[in-house]
């Protein structure tokens, strides 16, 4: 996946996160796109997404826990 696409998805995750769930949204981005993010510059993705570079840490946290979790569809509540 292109870095521009990843940054667009990150921007959407950041700016459209539910109230008080920005960090969670960023963690989920790292979990969901772990394979696509490997080898990419997280700082550059944050910069292109107009997201504070400090959220790179949160993305990396999501990437580290990705192998331990399975994302659920948030719309179903299951």
Predicted confidence at residue 1, as pLDDT, reads 77
Residue 77 has pLDDT above 60, yes or no: no
| Residue range 17-43: mean pLDDT, rounded | 94
pTM: 0.87
Predicted confidence at residue 71, as pLDDT, reads 80
Alpha helices in 16-65 (DSSP H): 22-32, 34-37, 42-48, 55-65
- What are the domain boundaries of the chain? 3-68
- What is the C-alpha to C-alpha distance for residues 30 and 76, in angstroms, rounded to an integer? 21
Binned at pLDDT 50, 70 and 90, residue 78 comes out as very low
């Amino acid at each position: 996946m292109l870095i521009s696409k990843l940054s667009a998805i990150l921007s959407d995750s950041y700016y459209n996160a539910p109230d008080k769930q920005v960090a969670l949204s960023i963690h989920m981005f790292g979990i969901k796109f772990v394979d696509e993010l490997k080898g990419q510059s997280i700082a550059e993705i944050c910069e292109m997404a107009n997201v504070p570079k400090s959220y790179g840490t949160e993305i990396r946290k999501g990437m580290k826990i990705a192998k331990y979790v399975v994302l659920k569809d948030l719309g179903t509540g299951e």
